[in-house]
Structure 1
Amino acid sequence: MKRLRIILWAMVVVAALLFGLFAYQLSQPKDAFVTSAMVGEQVPQFTLEPAAADRPGLAAADLANGRPQLLNLFGSWCVPCRVEAPQLEMLERQGATINGVALRDRPDDVAQFLEIFGNPFARIGRDDVSEMQFALGSSGVPETFVIDGQGRITYQHIGPIMDRDVPTIMEELRKAGAGS
């Protein structure tokens, strides 16, 4: 009988410890985003064919032209990319140069996407196998990088750009221009 009580109390103590551990883990904020190790580094060397008939392709040299700019990774198949389309146009109206990389996409689908949701891109490269995406350390789409005038990544925005994000991105572009 005494042995049974000890076992029961041990089980209660173990259950209480597990409950406490689970409660602690739930109270910690979860960071589900994978931040690129490329922030602070030069954009990797690349050359991408055009993804749209009315825009040139994109190469690393285009991002080191002395002016800060945005590099937006998107896909016509990406629902959050549709959500951020108005904000990209807002950034363009505020003077941001935006270059795009269409990931795993067909030119016809890219053209239809741009026709429906707008085309704020100066250049759009085609990354059929996500090689550029992986080289940038990107974890998904949409994702936007601020590139300084020397082609160095200074800031990464993960996920769709919302209205509340536009001032931050414009400030990051300004800072990238001041450091050029």
Structure 2
Amino acid sequence: MKPLMILPPVVFAGLALMFYFGMNRGDDQLASTREGGPVPALTVAEFPGEPGFTVEELADGEVKLVNFWASWCAPCRAEHEYLMAFAEEGIPIYGINYKDEPANGRKFLDDLGNPFTAVVSDESGRTGIDWGLYGVPETFVVDGDGVIVKRFAGPITGAIPDTVIRPAIDAAR
């Protein structure tokens, strides 16, 4: 009977080690099925007071960012100052307001500033699905031919602009 008493702690220790090593692989970004492929279709609506854009405009010869965001998204608010800095550097950013009330999205941009060259609204979430979106914010680096070079899930804050986004922009050029 004593050997059975030791079995639960041994099993628990084994599972704990497996979870520990599994969570510390250093690969914390989910893989994107879109990297290396053309930008998907846009099933979007007009965003109030802003010019819209098409898939063809995303392949206009210029490297750009496509950013999915929403007014209800706290991490979107956190990354906004970094998007404003990219825009001030002359990097075009195309915004897709994701599953948001247009009036709330408009207020978000009015309050924090508008870094976007153009903005559309993905009210139904269809474009998000087509792009393989996991959630907001998510940013895609698109080369001049309309090919997705990099997908970054999560807010672009801290060192991310210099360690992930700018190197992807340089690679896209």
Shared fold (TM-score, shorter chain, > 0.5) = yes
Same amino acid, percent of matched pairs: 31
**Kept in 1: contact 2:45–2:123 (CA 8 A):** no
> Any unmatched runs of 5+ in structure 2?
none
Name the counterpart of 2:119.
124
**TM-score (norm. length: structure 1):** 0.87
| Aligned partner (choices 156, 168, 179) of residue 151 of structure 2 | 156
Name the counterpart of 2:169.
173
**TM-score (norm. length: structure 2):** 0.90
| Aligned partner (choices 76, 86, 101) of residue 91 of structure 1 | 86
Counterpart CA distance in 1 for 2:112 and 2:88 is 15
Higher Rg of the two aligned structures: 1
Counterpart CA distance in 1 for 2:86 and 2:14 is 46
* Residue 19 (1) aligns with residue 23 (2): no
RMSD: 1.7
Name the counterpart of 2:2.
8
Secondary structure of 2:149's match?
Answer: strand
> Any unmatched runs of 5+ in structure 1?
1-6
Counterpart CA distance in 1 for 2:133 and 2:52 is 20
Aligned length: 170
Amino acid at match of 1:11: M
Runs of 4+ in 1 over 3 A off after TM superposition: 30-34
Amino acid at match of 1:41: G
Name the counterpart of 1:4.
none
Deviating more after overlay: 32-41 vs 107-116: 32-41
Counterpart CA distance in 2 for 1:20 and 1:47 is 48
